Amino acid sequence: MGRARLALALARKLPPRPRRGPPEETRERLVVAAAEAFNRDGYDGTDSNRIAREAGYAPGTFYKHFVDKRAVFLAVYEEWVAREFRDVGATLAEPGTVDDRAERVVGVFLAHHQRWRGFRASLRALVASDREIRDFYRVQRRKQLVILAEMQTARKKKAIRERDALLLFTIERAADALADGEAEALELNHVSLRALLVALVRERL
Amino acid sequence: MGRARLALALARKLPPRPRRGPPEETRERLVVAAAEAFNRDGYDGTDSNRIAREAGYAPGTFYKHFVDKRAVFLAVYEEWVAREFRDVGATLAEPGTVDDRAERVVGVFLAHHQRWRGFRASLRALVASDREIRDFYRVQRRKQLVILAEMQTARKKKAIRERDALLLFTIERAADALADGEAEALELNHVSLRALLVALVRERL
Amino acid sequence: MGRARLALALARKLPPRPRRGPPEETRERLVVAAAEAFNRDGYDGTDSNRIAREAGYAPGTFYKHFVDKRAVFLAVYEEWVAREFRDVGATLAEPGTVDDRAERVVGVFLAHHQRWRGFRASLRALVASDREIRDFYRVQRRKQLVILAEMQTARKKKAIRERDALLLFTIERAADALADGEAEALELNHVSLRALLVALVRERL
Amino acid sequence: MGRARLALALARKLPPRPRRGPPEETRERLVVAAAEAFNRDGYDGTDSNRIAREAGYAPGTFYKHFVDKRAVFLAVYEEWVAREFRDVGATLAEPGTVDDRAERVVGVFLAHHQRWRGFRASLRALVASDREIRDFYRVQRRKQLVILAEMQTARKKKAIRERDALLLFTIERAADALADGEAEALELNHVSLRALLVALVRERL
DNA sequence: GATGAATGAGCATTCATTCAT
DNA sequence: AATGAATGAATGCTCATTCAT
For domain B70-204, which CATH number applies: 3.30.1370.140, 1.10.357.10, 3.30.930.10, 1.10.3720.10?
A: 1.10.357.10
Confidence of residue A203 (pLDDT cuts 50, 70, 90): confident
**Pick the residue with more confidence: A135 or A55?**
A55
Burial C30-66 (b: 16+ CB within 10 A, else e): bbbbbbbbbbebbbbbbebebbbbbbebeeebbeebb
| pLDDT tens track for A112-159 | 988 998 899 899 888 888 888 888 888 888 777 777 677 667 666 666
pTM of the full structure: 0.85
* Band of pLDDT at residue D5, cut at 50, 70 and 90: very low
Position A16 confidence tier, pLDDT thresholds 50, 70, 90:
low
Contact B173 A177 (CB under 8 A): no
Res. D180: pLDDT tops 50: yes
Statement: residue D2 has pLDDT above 50? no
Q: A1-10, B41-50, D18-27, D93-102: lowest mean pLDDT where?
A: A1-10
Tell me the H-state helices in chain B: 3-9, 23-41, 48-55, 59-65, 69-93, 98-115, 117-129, 131-154, 161-179, 182-185, 190-204
Q: Which residue intervals of chain A bear CATH 1.10.357.10?
A: 70-204
Identify the residue with better confidence: A202 or C18.
Answer: A202
Could you count the other beta carbons within 10 Å of the beta carbon of residue A45? 18
**C1’ F16 / CA C109, Å:** 48
Residue ranges of chain B with per-residue pLDDT less than 50: 1-11
Say yes or no to pLDDT of C45 above 70. Answer: yes
Enumerate residues 148 to 177 of chain C having a beta carbon within 8 A of any beta carbon in chain D.
Answer: 161-163, 165-166, 169-170, 172-174, 177
Q: Is D124's CB within 8 Å of C127's CB?
A: no
Query: Who wins on pLDDT, D61 or D88?
Result: D61
CA gap A149, A138 in Å, rounded: 16
Chains in contact with A, counting 3 or more C-beta pairs less than 8 Å apart as contact: B
Q: Where in chain B is the domain with CATH 1.10.10.60?
A: 3-67
Enumerate helices (H) and strands (E) in chain D, giving the number of each: 11, 0
- pLDDT confidence band for D19 (50 / 70 / 90): low
CB contact under 8 A, C127 and D183: no
Q: What topology does CATH give the domain A3-67?
A: Arc Repressor Mutant, subunit A (1.10.10)
Kindly tell me if the per-residue pLDDT of A3 is higher than 50: no
Cα distance between residue D158 and residue C136, in whole Å? 44
* A161-178 tens-digit pLDDT: 888 889 989 998 999 888
d(CA A10, CA A28): 9
Model pLDDT, residue C7: 47
Phi and psi at C201, nearest 5°, equal -65, -50
For residue A137, the chain B residue with the least C-alpha distance is B182
B89 CA to E13 C1' in angstroms comes to 40
Task: Say yes or no to pLDDT of C38 above 80.
Answer: yes
